[in-house]
Amino acid sequence: MRFLHTSDWHLGRSFHRVSLLDAQAAFLDHLVAVVAERGVEAVLVAGDVYDRAVPPLAAVELFDRALHRLGALGVPVVMISGNHDSARRLGVGAGLLDRAGVHLRTDPAGVGEPVLLRDAAGEVACYGLPYLEPALVREEFAAPRGGHRAVLSAAMDRVRADLAARPAGTRSVVLAHAFVTGGAVSDSERDITVGGVASVPAAVFAGVDYVALGHLHGCQTLAERVRYSGSPLAYSFSEAGHRKSTWLVDLDASGGVTAERVDAPVPRPLARLCGRLDDLLADPALTPHEDAWVEATLTDAARPQEPMARLAERFPHVVSLVFAPEPADGAAAGTEASYADRLRGRDDREIAEDFVAHVRPGSAVTADERAVLHAAFDAVRAADARAETAR
């Protein structure tokens, strides 16, 4: 059976306040064309269909058109909700849509109930594991405290139990929206850390033939059978080096996997430029970036006059401006680091712990204080998740 594995469409998202709806529409045109031209037998969408719980109407219409076009091709779609989606909203009408070949898996209670697909070699059981917020689903899975690993392990136990009861030789696919250990992150993914533990080991998914992952925006292979498709478009300048694509996955009669990357259309390349303003405006080597979305980091010792307007004369699609002045003569390198630079790569808990240490010099955060801080962050995250679920 041939699958097209995709995820993280984030319909309705903008790029530095520039609408991406046209680019997202172009990607969905491309996806439908690949399905038609490459003999795809099922489309797997591993979460974050929308960028927020209440998406704009134009994004909903784009989603609706894509499903109608895939339905017209007679190709089933298996789709889960991600951490950006409202599972309840995305799952509206799931029973009716099932009959049209669009299988929405947004309810954690249904993780052990597969979509059954069939080819000449027999059945393929496709299990959908929507994004599982530990604070909200722990009771459903009777999982101990322990964050994502505990609830995903419990969900996969249900998957394996159902699979074990099926005829020998039944092939299996799992869709999951999670941060799996070994995956490379970018700046555009929402943090899902709970209890200080963000990632789960790939071994949690043992026992199935293919795992179609969503959440991380870079296309990557964690193991032959465990892959992220990544987002179809770049949603931050940290993705400037990404090659955006989908996975065309062939599952043979014995459960063997082969996969091919299919490049997605690039609406506009990204460029991260760094230097003094006058140099950026004059350097002929930067000519290839004049049509790109540009993030410019200016290193001038003094802030130039009207830098954005001057940059836009050469780079009309400049959307981000960063100031990182070079150290003054005699200053030690690194002493002029910006606040953003000092925070980059640190999560909320680390920043809070650093703040406590900063306002209380000579006294580091104690284990008890760290536990209180972590519990507070988890409580806020759980409250936000409940609020989004209730919307």
pLDDT in tens, 189-233: 776 654 445 689 999 999 999 999 999 999 999 999 999 999 999
Task: Name the pLDDT band for 172 (thresholds 50, 70, 90).
Answer: very high
Confidence tier at 143 by pLDDT (50, 70, 90): confident
Average pLDDT over residues 278-302: 96
Distance CA(89)–CA(12), nearest Å, equals 15
What's the rounded mean pLDDT across residues 124-135? 95
* Beta-bridge partners for 271: 294
Beta bridge partners of 123: 118
Instruction: Give the number of other Cβ atoms within 10 Å of residue 252's Cβ.
Output: 12
**pLDDT surpasses 50 at 45:** yes
Q: Which residues contact 91 (CB under 8 A, 6 or more apart)?
A: 81, 104, 106, 107
What does the radius of gyration of the chain's CA atoms come to, in whole angstroms? 23
Question: In the structure encoding, which two tokens stand for residue 23, read together?
Answer: 């680019």
Residue 285, pLDDT above cutoff 50: yes
Quick check: 146 and 138 in contact, CB under 8 A? no
CA 122 to chain centre: 32
Q: How confident is the model at residue 334 (pLDDT cuts 50, 70, 90)?
A: very low
Stretch 282-305: mean pLDDT: 96
**How far is the C-alpha of 177 from the C-alpha of 175, rounded, in Å?**
7
Cβ proximity of 251 and 173 under 8 Å: yes
Burial 163-179 (b: 16+ CB within 10 A, else e): beeeeeebbbbbbbbbb
Write the single-letter amino acid at 135: A
Q: What is the DSSP letter of 205?
A: G
- Residue 203's pLDDT is 95
The CA distance from 45 to 113, in Å, is: 17
What number is the average pLDDT over the span 175-199? 77
% of the chain with per-residue pLDDT over 90 = 74
Mean pLDDT score, 10-34: 97
Q: What is the pLDDT of residue 346?
A: 67
The Cα 81–Cα 191 span in angstroms is 16
pLDDT at 174: 98
Range of lowest pLDDT (226-240, 326-340, 372-386): 326-340
C-alpha distances in Å from residue 126, one per residue of 3, 70, 211, 268, 361:
11, 18, 10, 35, 55
- Sequence-distant (6+) residues with CB within 8 A of 52 are 12, 84
pLDDT of residue 193: 57
Q: Could you tell me which residue, 319 or 331, shows the higher pLDDT? A: 319
Arithmetic mean of pLDDT, 67-93: 95
Rounded to the nearest integer, the mean pLDDT of the chain is 89
Indicate the pTM of the whole model.
Answer: 0.83
pLDDT value at 331 more than 70 = no
User: Furthest-apart CA pair in the chain: how many Å?
Assistant: 74
pLDDT of residue 195: 43
Residue 336 has pLDDT above 60, yes or no: no
Q: Do 69 and 32 touch, CB atoms closer than 8 A? A: yes
> Mean pLDDT, to the nearest integer, of 296-302?
95
Over range 311-332, report the average pLDDT. Answer: 84
Picking from 367, 368, 364, the residue whose alpha carbon sits closest to that of residue 354 is 364
Residue 374, helix vs strand vs coil: helix
Beta-bridged to residue 117, according to DSSP, are: 124
- Which of 63, 81, 73, 89 lies closest to 35 in space, CA to CA? 73
The yes-or-no verdict on residue 347 having pLDDT over 80 is no
